[in-house]
Structure 1
């Protein structure tokens, strides 16, 4: 799929960007060019040590910010596919610095769209978050706006051969700033801070996130929001899995946090289809025929009022399964004494 193609990843030095880079270079050694677009020079320098030019001549490191339209246009010269992973994502920081979040997550999305429309890009896949479904915090609201922009971009492409699609998923296990690495660091202090005991979250591995992006790149018709079927976990089970001997101190919910996350709301159910491994929320006014889409993917419409929440999920991680996942995906040397 990507051999002889040029791919650009915004936010390419982040956890998912690095996982995508590893998978792409491994599976498609014939890729023409892989551009890592991000604004942190130190992270680019560190990542470049893992991909020396004499071994990976395809990879390019491009300093830039999605807020800078002209820089994006320069970076997209000759690019076929864009994976848009750049975002300001820390909920409390976004609450305290709202316009900075808007500039990156909304204005940045619009810049990616406009620059792609003015180039030869064939497909843009934008990363979303469960916090974009019925958002109560600014981060989620900006990502909902971003999702809407990317879906609507398919309506303004004219006769240009380009598609825009979105992938939406829950907490990425082990990603920067997520709860598991945080608890792994805090357990040595003997206290794990828990917001509220009833809190739940969806869980996806970095590899699962990569799978979703590549699935969208290979199958999207344009305008879909892809949602994976994921297990949930209870925050108390994460704490028990990591620090069974630690005090689990309830500190209260943080600004902008939900107790349970949603990826599909009941209002989305009118446009949501079950594709087997994934759900997809279809655009209300697609540029293709829904009947043909349903037939091609054997898509099944979900029931009216269906919603997908981490709190009433049918599949759950356990303390033992979480420990195994930590060993497999985060720390092979992880262990606990009970």
Structure 2
């Protein structure tokens, strides 16, 4: 995608994926006019500014603001061409105990982003979702499902605007803030790795895989798609064995709102789901473009009507050995048993 002369804003830009996107864009699209990091944590912005100094990267801007504040969003979006919406309250158990805060950020914030885009000149929006938005059983997942619906439906009310809204949905990002692998690496020093449920599985994607998916959606979305990657799963017991084979592994029970297995596509979604090769796409039930043309353009194939995609019934699995290699490559280069 050509970013020459364009401005891109990342909400929640100081998070793990936001920083990975920033590094990718500044490295591969140095011709970009402006890259704006929008977030509410001044300390994280201060730290990130040391990693990406303005003298070295004159395109970068840091903009303190909260997606709950529509006025601040409108000001930040002035002159912006592309938006990546990564801001969210994402910890499942914290959302269960602080529901109102989660709703304000994940639903209210999403609607504010949509509204701010309509009142400015934004052309493309990619919103980040999660496997927990699929058949949700916790508040975090329910708010992200609602967010997905808001971004998909925004394409139906855009009128003559050329703006396109799309969503990317993926599983656990390896090594991201608050995820299990950094947690286990830290707990290894204590000799104990707490296991919620020995049967638990999760999808696994690297930060770069998440970045690639966002960039794919930014370039290829027609509007209203929910893109889902084809990625492997891992068993929580294999993660524990990969990190601390000598550690004790007590079973502590599932935390509030957790699933044993995660889903990304349900059988109900299958009626609108197409295989694009590297990704699946859940298409909108109503759209302002031709399905036939979409199928032709992307060589898309309709999945079977009973198709589903969940981490417990995946065809591709990480092993203890592959997990150790991935941890060393993507999480901690100094990782040793």
What's the CA shift for 1:50? 1.3
Match of 1:190 in 2: 191
Task: Return the alpha-carbon distance in structure 2 between the equivalents of residues 4 and 204 of structure 1.
Answer: 31
Task: Return the alpha-carbon distance in structure 1 between the equivalents of residues 51 and 253 of structure 2.
Answer: 40
> Deviation per CA, 1:144-166, whole angstroms, max 9, x where unpaired?
00000000000000000100000
Task: Return the alpha-carbon distance in structure 1 between the equivalents of residues 331 and 172 of structure 2.
Answer: 14
Match of 2:273 in 1: 272
Match of 1:283 in 2: 284
Task: Return the alpha-carbon distance in structure 1 between the equivalents of residues 274 and 194 of structure 2.
Answer: 38
Match of 1:334 in 2: 335
Match of 2:204 in 1: 203
Unaligned runs of 5+ in 1: none
What's the CA shift for 1:332? 1.0
> Deviation per CA, 1:269-293, whole angstroms, max 9, x where unpaired?
0000000000000000011010110
Q: Does 1:25 align with 2:22?
A: no
SS in 2 for 1:207: helix
What's the CA shift for 1:58? 0.6
> Deviation per CA, 1:218-266, whole angstroms, max 9, x where unpaired?
1000000000001000000000000000001100011000000000000
SS in 2 for 1:296: helix
> Deviation per CA, 1:192-225, whole angstroms, max 9, x where unpaired?
0000000000000000000000000010000000
Match of 1:4 in 2: 5
Task: Return the alpha-carbon distance in structure 2 between the equivalents of residues 120 and 316 of structure 1.
Answer: 43
SS in 2 for 1:227: strand
Match of 1:62 in 2: 63
What's the CA shift for 1:55? 1.2
SS in 2 for 1:155: coil
SS in 1 for 2:106: helix
Match of 2:219 in 1: 218
Task: Return the alpha-carbon distance in structure 2 between the equivalents of residues 52 and 309 of structure 1.
Answer: 41
Match of 2:322 in 1: 321
What's the CA shift for 1:88? 0.2
Match of 2:116 in 1: 115
Task: Return the alpha-carbon distance in structure 2 between the equivalents of residues 28 and 243 of structure 1.
Answer: 40
Structure-2-length-normalised TM-score: 0.99
SS in 1 for 2:189: helix
SS in 2 for 1:83: strand
Match of 2:262 in 1: 261
Match of 1:104 in 2: 105
What's the CA shift for 1:3? 2.0
Query: Map of 1:149-160 to 2, 5 A cutoff?
Result: 149-160=150-161
Match of 1:47 in 2: 48
What's the CA shift for 1:56? 1.0
Query: Map of 1:229-240 to 2, 5 A cutoff?
Result: 229-240=230-241
Q: Does 1:241 align with 2:271?
A: no
What's the CA shift for 1:63? 0.2
Task: Return the alpha-carbon distance in structure 1 between the equivalents of residues 52 and 186 of structure 2.
Answer: 28
SS in 1 for 2:193: strand
What's the CA shift for 1:4? 1.3
SS in 2 for 1:193: coil
Unaligned runs of 5+ in 2: none
SS in 2 for 1:248: coil
Q: Does 1:81 align with 2:82?
A: yes
